[in-house]
């Protein structure tokens, strides 16, 4: 047995931590089976001795165990030792450390400083200070932040490897500061430079490209803490003795790109800085230490192909749509100007196509000094797969590298299967998340938007948590969501809020759904504790805006955004009644608040929200369901929500399920859903005895489907089902991103249903594995790195044999449902292998007289045979109404069809065999 992955607040040996009561987590590996932790001991010490010793605690807690020792001191390193005992008599020890930061913003002694450069000056300000040291240095820590985004250099060396600090928060209330370890940077004579660009603080934002959302001057706050070997300390702080100038970065904007002039002389050198008063945004009480992982370069892509387009453009394809920038080497002439333009795709003729960027120009410009140089942007990023190079006569593709950046979250999920197109879909989901988790969960990384849309975040949160550890990422973003919430509980549509629009169902419900997903995934009660008032506030807002009938029937709603069941024109909300959606989410969020109250021991709240839920659910059912079990507005999304959110009367669920099946059949077994219905439709089918149909939807390759984009060469998830049309043209609404992750929410179904990995208790302390087969996939291999360790599920169904392999982490238990077997098996930790025979007939879908007309209509062979025999058969209103009828029921009304239908069934069943 051994202890591994010892973490403090989800981090290995963190520095700059300002949490007063940090939590410790660890994992255990063992070659034995059925291993449970029986006890633990935690010792925290500093250089003077122990500050906390739990002694031996007879508990199996190993996730987020809270520190209960002496009050932690600022800027101090603590040593951590954890010893664990198992139920078989084994012991293991792990060690680590954590280091506190300044602990609270008001402890900063530095001053905010800004510049007074010319208004028309677009170049980045560089704040600088020279200093001398004459002692041996033991350690150096830099605590820094900015209004704008910044980069630190000491003696012309960049400090750290991160980008876009301090990140995007609600600057009106919260500004992050970062801690850097800089032990090896100092010499006798030193110069520190902090370059600050506009970033989110004052740069162009939103589709209006509006600057100065938070202020019209960049500023910086920093302290350099030097500890010497002789025990003395020195602090260098930003103050009036610093100076400011501009250098080679002549402009830098997220949407527009960066201009770097190697020949630019330092301007305004020696100009004094302006010291700002501690008020408003400059109040140090707003400072918080870095909450999420920083943004880093996470992968580098060499040029895949160099080409000259029909328009004679010089283009490089990197083979993957990413967010980031390009690094390249060049030896140009002095004053030579090189422009790098960015685009997601080429048009159908093979020409460079930047139109999906809208007003985001996305051009990086470099002016050479005549030497051999390596260029890379500092303060911008782009969404692209292709670059167009201007100003270079000869292109050497090997000199160009695409650098993908995103928040540095650990990978936690893998999914592979026998279907190559599904594997590409999984890659597209992975990169859709990577490219849009750049400090905040953006809608897209390429065009003039890149905002933290709440709707996309909540529908994708479950999938995101399988693929990566999103605990810190979403904790930081949820803090901003709560800080942007109005006093009446209204939740903005984007976080941080730069639009000023509030309270729409499925968007604002991120306030409840995302914290609950985080709790279920990581077992983190603190997320619920910190967000609970925000969660309640949102539900109470909806309650306070209900009509006399008790339902929420007012205000702007996005509806089932971009659904295909309604002519779009200007209205993109789909055909589903938008207030049906609003009240479905009202109930969903109310139920989450009730469950959260139970977790937090708030019994009175749990009773209140539970009673309110039952009352509103009864009203909802009377409003939207008929006495015979039909539903008002039987769109795919309405029926899906009724099933997935458990909104229908129990007696009506089977009929609702049949109606969904019929509706899908009427669309030739395709979806017509948008942002609201798509995440849940396959879950609803699989959970209501229609898993085969879920598999049919999932593996469709024509429009609209997930694999349609894969067939068209997509490397990320599209915003629209038809972002690129079958003929190669582009959807021309002016809103057509090729990197939008909302429809990637199918990933959660892949992990839960195809791989079968599902939580029972929070954090997967107890879980079940229930793989579900679909025709078209013969094997699946998936894993999920839970907070207890790796959960693995593999299965294969081939040649009449089923094999299942599972891996259960130490300190957990699992229930395994073997495919096509009755009953369940309870398993402790360890690896297990099962092999048994299967009846191959179970893999074959049989069509009988009990099949529905909708099922038949969804089979191309059947549809073609019937339409040849009876032209226009499926277009008649009577036949479309009868999609939910079985063939037996249909023949009661039209007995003359019997010979034709029986012939069709024979052909179908022969072809299936």
Contact 485, 538 (CB under 8 A): yes
Q: Where are the beta strands (DSSP E) in 47-173?
A: 49-53, 65-66, 77-86, 91-99, 113-114, 125-132, 137-147, 149-154, 157-158, 162-163
- Give the H/E segment covering residue 908: helix 898-912
Can you tell me the distance from the alpha carbon of 653 to that of 673, in angstroms, rounded to the nearest whole number?
Answer: 20
Q: Are 377 and 302 in contact (CB under 8 A)?
A: no
Q: Return d(Cα 197, Cα 377) in angstroms, integer.
A: 12
Alpha helices in 561-670 (DSSP H): 578-599, 603-624, 636-644, 653-666
The token duo for 299 is 């992968």
**CB contact set of 789 (below 8 Å; sequence gap of 6+):** 27, 28, 29, 809, 810, 811, 812
Scanning 442-556, the segments in alpha helix (DSSP H) are 454-467, 471-484, 510-522, 525-544
Locate 390 and state its tokens. 């201007």
Q: What is the DSSP letter of 66?
A: E
Burial class (CB in 10 A: 0-12, 13-18, 19+), 90: middle
State the pairing for strand pair 125-132/789-798: unpaired
Q: How far apart (Å, rounded) are the C-alpha atoms in residues 388 and 789? A: 45
DSSP-assigned letter for residue 473:
H
Neighbours of 662 (CB within 10 A): 24
Alpha carbon distances (Å) from 818 to 598, 778, 812, 815, 874: 33, 15, 19, 10, 40
Phi-psi region of 178 (alpha: psi -120 to 50; beta: other; left: phi over 0): beta
Q: DSSP for 785-845?
A: EETTEEEEEEEEEETTEEEEEEEE-TT-EEEE--TT-SS-EEE-SEEEEEEEE--GGGGS-
CA distance 451 to 62: 37
Report d(CA 913, CA 777) in Å as an integer. 17
Q: Which of 269, 253, 252 is nearest to 261 (CA)?
A: 252
Distance CA 540, CA 114 (A): 42
Instruction: Give the Cα separation of 657 and 664 in Å (integer).
Output: 11
Name the strand (E) or helix (H) holding 5.
strand 2-8
Which active-site residues does the annotation give? 449, 719
């Amino acid at each position: 047995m051994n202890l591994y992955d010892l973490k403090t607040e989800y981090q290995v040996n963190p520095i700059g931590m300002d949490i007063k009561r940090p939590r410790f987590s660890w994992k255990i590996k063992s070659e034995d089976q059925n291993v449970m932790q029986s006890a633990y001991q935690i010792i925290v010490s500093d250089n003077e001795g122990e500050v906390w010793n739990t002694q031996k605690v007879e508990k199996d807690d190993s996730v987020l165990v809270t520190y209960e020792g002496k009050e932690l001191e600022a800027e101090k390193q603590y040593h951590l030792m954890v010893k664990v005992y198992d139920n078989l008599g084994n012991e293991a020890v792990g060690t680590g450390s954590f280091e506190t930061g300044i602990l609270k913003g008001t402890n900063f002694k530095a001053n905010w400083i800004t510049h007074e450069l010319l208004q028309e000056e677009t170049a980045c300000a560089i704040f600088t200070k020279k200093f001398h040291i004459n002692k041996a240095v033991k350690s150096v820590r830099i605590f820094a932040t900015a209004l704008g985004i910044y980069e630190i250099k000491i003696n012309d060396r960049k400090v750290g490897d991160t980008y876009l600090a301090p990140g995007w928060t609600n600057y009106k209330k919260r500004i992050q500061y970062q801690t850097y370890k800089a032990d090896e940077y100092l010499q006798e004579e030193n110069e520190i430079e902090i370059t600050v660009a506009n970033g989110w603080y004052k740069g162009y934002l939103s589709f209006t490209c509006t600057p100065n959302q938070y202020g019209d001057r960049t500023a910086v706050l920093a302290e350099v803490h030097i500890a010497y070997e002789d025990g003395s300390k020195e602090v260098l702080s930003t103050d009036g003795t610093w100076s400011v100038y501009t250098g080679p970065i002549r402009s830098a904007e997220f949407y527009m790109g960066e201009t770097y002039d190697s020949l630019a002389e330092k301007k305004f050198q020696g100009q004094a800085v302006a010291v700002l008063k501690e008020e408003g945004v400059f109040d140090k009480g707003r400072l918080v230490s870095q909450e999420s992982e920083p943004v880093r370069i996470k992968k580098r892509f060499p040029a895949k192909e160099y080409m000259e387009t029909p328009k004679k453009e010089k283009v490089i394809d990197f083979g993957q749509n990413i967010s980031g920038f390009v690094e390249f080497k060049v030896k140009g002439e002095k004053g030579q100007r090189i422009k790098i333009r960015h685009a997601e795709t080429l048009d159908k003729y093979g020409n460079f196509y930047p139109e999906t960027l809208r007003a985001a120009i996305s051009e990086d410009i470099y002016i050479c000094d005549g030497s051999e140089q390596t260029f890379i942007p500092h303060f911008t990023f782009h969404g692209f797969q292709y670059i167009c190079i201007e100003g270079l006569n000869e292109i050497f593709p090997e000199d160009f590298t695409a650098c993908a950046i995103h928040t540095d979250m650990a990978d936690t999920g893998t999914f592979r299967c026998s279907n190559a197109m599904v594997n590409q879909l999984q890659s597209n989901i992975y990169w859709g998340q990577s490219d849009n988790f750049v400090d905040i969960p953006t809608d897209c990384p390429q065009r003039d938007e890149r905002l933290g849309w709440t709707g996309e975040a909540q529908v994708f949160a479950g999938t995101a948590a399988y693929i990566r550890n999103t605990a810190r990422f979403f904790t930081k973003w949820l803090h901003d969501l709560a800080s942007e919430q109005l006093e009446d509980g209204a939740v903005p549509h984007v976080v941080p809020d730069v639009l000023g629009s509030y309270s729409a169902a499925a968007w604002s419900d991120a306030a409840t759904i995302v914290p609950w997903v985080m709790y279920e995934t990581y077992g983190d009660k603190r997320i619920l504790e910190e967000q609970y008032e925000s969660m309640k506030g949102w539900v109470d807002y909806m309650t306070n805006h209900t009509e006399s009938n008790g339902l929420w029937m007012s205000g702007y709603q996005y509806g089932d955004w971009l659904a295909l069941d309604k002519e779009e024109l200007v209205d993109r909300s789909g055909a589903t009644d938008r207030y049906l959606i609003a009240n479905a989410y009202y109930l969903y969020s109310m139920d989450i608040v009730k469950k959260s109250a139970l977790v937090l021991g708030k019994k009175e709240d749990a009773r209140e929200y539970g009673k309110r839920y039952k009352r509103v659910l009864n009203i909802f059912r009377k409003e939207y369901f008929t006495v015979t079990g039909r539903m008002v507005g039987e769109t795919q999304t309405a029926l899906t929500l009724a099933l997935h959110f458990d909104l229908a009367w129990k007696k009506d669920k089977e009929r609702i399920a049949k109606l969904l099946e019929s509706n899908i059949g009427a669309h030739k077994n395709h979806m017509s859903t948008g942002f609201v219905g798509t995440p849940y439709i396959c879950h609803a089918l699989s959970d209501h005895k229609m898993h085969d149909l879920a598999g049919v939807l999932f593996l469709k390759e024509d429009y609209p489907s997930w694999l349609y984009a894969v067939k068209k060469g997509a490397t990320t998830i599209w915003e629209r089902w038809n972002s690129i049309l079958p003929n190669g043209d582009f959807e021309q609404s002016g809103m057509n991103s090729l990197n939008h992750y909302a429809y990637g929410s199918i990933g959660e179904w892949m992990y839960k249903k195809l791989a079968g990995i599902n939580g029972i208790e929070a954090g997967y302390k107890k879980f079940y594995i229930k793989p579900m087969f679909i025709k078209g996939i013969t094997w699946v291999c998936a894993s999920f790195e839970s907070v207890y360790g790796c959960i693995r599920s593999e299965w294969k169904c081939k040649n009449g044999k089923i094999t299942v392999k599972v891996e259960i982490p130490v300190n957990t238990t699992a229930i395994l449902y073997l495919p096509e077997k009755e009953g369940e098996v309870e398993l402790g930790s360890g690896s297990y292998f099962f092999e048994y025979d299967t009846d191959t007939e179970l893999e074959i879908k049989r069509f009988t007289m009990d099949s529905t007309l909708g099922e038949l209509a969804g089979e191309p062979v059947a549809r073609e045979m019937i339409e040849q025999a009876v032209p226009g058969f499926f277009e008649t209103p009577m036949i479309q109404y009868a999609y939910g009828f079985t063939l037996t029921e249909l023949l009661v009304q039209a007995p003359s069809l019997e010979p034709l239908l029986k012939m069709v069934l024979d052909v179908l069943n022969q072809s299936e065999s």
